[in-house]
Amino acid sequence: MEKRTILTTSKRGLLEDSLPFRLFQKAKRLGTWNPADIDFTQDAKDWQTFSHEQKEGILKLISQFQAGEEAVTRDLLPLMMVIAKEGRLEEEMFLTTFLFEEAKHTEFFRLVLNALGEKGDLSIYHTETYDTIFNQILPNAMERLVDDHSPEALAEASTVYNMFVEGVLAETGYYSFYQSLEQIGTMPGLLKGIGYLKKDESRHIAYGTFLLQRLISEHPHIFDIVTSKMEQLTPLAIQLNQEGMVEDSPFGNDFEETMNFTMKQLSVRMEILARSQGRKVEEIYKQKESEFGIV
């Protein structure tokens, strides 16, 4: 085993002005909310006012959020291990908060379901498209990193995990769900938790965008790999959104508006990645959080 250098006692110290370290600082301040502290009493009362058909529609949505958060919690570790082996300490430090937060998101949705008295098998609401994404594409991309630490493997993993699952599916889903909950003024505990989730996810997506920027800066051909992968995945997002349009749900959303939000967010991030070509790695590390929409 090659002897490693301890960074924090060397002249290097910690790269405190780097984006990953600043994201770590924000996570310590903003990501410490506790799902168990949220009161779901009113949510349980609201639940009883919904019809059977409305409950079915809502359960379909929550079941996909629940399983999705479990999936990203279970699949993140290979990425963390590669980053750690590369000696990128500040990135690894942020990723510890990343995994912690995904675990809390998994707990949050289970607490919601428990409060509503819904403890049955909700996998019946997972469509074939959903299964393809979360039980095949995502774990396969992440497990590849166990043996393959190449820039290409890292780029595929981050594209699938950060850009697509989080940056397209989760961000769109939470945005749409939050807007609907706020509009109809019901289930305040669920609304509050999703508000926290959205802020956590913004940091996660920012890190994924940063990671791909770094890879593109170091290996320019990675941009074409990312673009090609997103072209393959985008039709699945459209299909999943179509399958999620439930007319009887009080949380129903306008499909066109949802997809416009999705494509706008994706376009902004692809533009950011495109600008990474030819930029120095030092510039990538020193970007401001505001460039990623994080306050």
Residues 39, 43, 48, 49: is their CA dihedral positive or negative? Answer: positive
Cα separation values, 249 from 48, 55, 181, 184, 194, Å: 14, 7, 11, 12, 18
Q: For 97-117, what is the mean pLDDT?
A: 98
Q: If you ran DSSP here, which 8-state letter would residue 3 be given?
A: P
CB-CB contact of 54 with 245 (8 Å): no
Q: What is the pLDDT, as a whole number, of residue 247? A: 45
Instruction: Give 75-127 as a DSSP string.
Output: HSHHHHHHHHHTT-HHHHHHHHHHHHHHHHHHHHHHHHHHHTT--S-GGGG--
CB-CB contact of 288 with 272 (8 Å): no
User: Is the CATH number of domain 39-280 1.10.620.20?
Assistant: yes
One-letter amino acid for residue 52 of the chain? H
The domain locations on the chain are: 39-280
Lowest mean pLDDT among 4-18, 82-96, 198-212, 235-249: 235-249
Q: What is the pLDDT, as a whole number, of residue 175? A: 85
Q: What percent of the chain has pLDDT over 70?
A: 95
